[in-house]
Amino acid sequence: MPSVDTTKRTVLGVRPDPSIDVPESKVALRKVRRSDIYSVLGSLAASLALTGLIFTTLTPFNGAIGFFVVWFVSFVVFYALLTSFDEDAQAVRDRIAGVVIRTLAAIVVGVLVFVIVFTAGKGWEVLVNANFFTQDMSDAGPLDPLIVGGIIHAVVGTLIEIAIALAIVIPLGLAVAVYLTEIPSKFSRIVRTIVEAMTALPSIVAGLFIYATLIMILTKQQSGFAAAMAIGIMMLPIIIRSADVALRLVPGTLKEASYALGSSQWSTVRYVTLPTAKSGLATSIILGTARGIGETSPVLLCAGFTAAMNWNPFEGPMISLPLAVFEFVKSPEPTMIARGFGTAVVLLGLVLVMFVIARYFGGKGPGALSKGQLKARQRHSARDLERITAANEQSTSMSSDRKAQ
């Protein structure tokens, strides 16, 4: 069928035939054209000139934040005006939204990079000393040089407390999330409301609760286990809420297919729902760990402070990295402040390592199997094939015996 110019027919007053399929023209939003570059450069120049005129001549405004806000607003206005000369209204809105989103993303990344670079720069002089990673502060004082003392006791305390908290919170949080998703009822709605309310619970309240119940009534002493319980209270609602969202994103068709094959509800949860939502569950664990690993007040209340190594989480005070940062930075001595920034860098590195480990084990997409899982699946398939073959041979032999009789 020959192509029809619908534009000419509309101009001549003839309505186009609706039976003729005319391909719609698509706007290439990701294609960078020369006019786009000119629009951006012109908007930058005009917005900078206007902002400079406002801050130097027209108004008494000053300050870097105000200058950036006025410049960005004027840049968006000029960019929308220049883009409207070549594009329609929908394309102009898309361009403006792209500029705003990219700018916000750049601000977030820039703030993160600034925090990391600033912290690393302040603590670099202590990070180059090997003793900082191999010694504790039992033999070091505020006036001692940086070649004496370290934070190995804080690293060990943090790992022990987080490990205990995760060992308790992960199975409990995932079980509650599965219950909220798979067994909807009035009680589950009440539980979901309580979980959402607990996400705003102040950390000092969790620490006071553990101090009043576990320490004052049972153990009568501060310990790393008590701090782990307080940290677990802060981590639990985050993991439950994030895991609940991840489980609810599993398509219902997958569950219906499992039920159609004769699987029970808990078999479907084990072999369909949880593997499909594995990436989201790993993210929920990461979010909960990030919330718990940076807590200071519960550790100070429940575990106390110590400058020596303590491997026993059930007896004696145990310090963590955030508490060590707090104790180091509040000192007026420059060496102690440098130790505080170095400890903060170590804390950032520890969180990054835990994030990488969690993403490695749980960040694969639905259906992606590891080598061990693939071998186990192959063994199960071979065993099932042998059973089916043996059953077929047995039925064949029985049918042949009946014919012979």
Q: Which residues of the chain have pLDDT under 70?
A: 1-32, 361-377, 380-381, 384, 401, 403-405
State the pLDDT at residue 26.
54
| Residue type at position 324 | A
Question: How many CA atoms within 13 Å lie on the side-chain side of 211?
Answer: 15
> 298-337 pLDDT, tens per residue?
888 888 888 888 898 888 888 889 988 988 888 888 888 9
Handedness of CA 157, 158, 162, 163 (dihedral sign): negative
Q: What is the pTM of this model?
A: 0.71
Token pair for 68: 């950036």
- Domains of the chain, by residue range, sit at 31-123, 152-367
Q: How far apart are CA 20 and CA 6, in angstroms?
A: 10
**Under a CB-based contact definition with an 8 Å cutoff, are residues 347 and 322 in contact?**
yes
Token pair for 362: 């749980």
Q: How far apart are CA 299 and CA 322, in angstroms?
A: 9
**Under a CB-based contact definition with an 8 Å cutoff, are residues 309 and 156 in contact?**
yes
Token pair for 305: 């402070």
> 200-241 pLDDT, tens per residue?
888 888 889 999 998 888 888 888 899 999 999 999 999 999
**Under a CB-based contact definition with an 8 Å cutoff, are residues 215 and 163 in contact?**
no
**Under a CB-based contact definition with an 8 Å cutoff, are residues 253 and 306 in contact?**
no
Q: What torsion, rounded to 10 degrees, do the Cα atoms 32, 33, 36, 37 define?
A: 90
State the pLDDT at residue 398.
76
Q: Which CATH superfamily hosts domain 152-367?
A: MetI-like (1.10.3720.10)
Instruction: Name the DSSP letter for residue 71.
Output: H
Q: How far apart are CA 7 and CA 206, in angstroms?
A: 69
Angle at 256 (CA atoms; ends 251, 260), nearest 5 degrees: 155
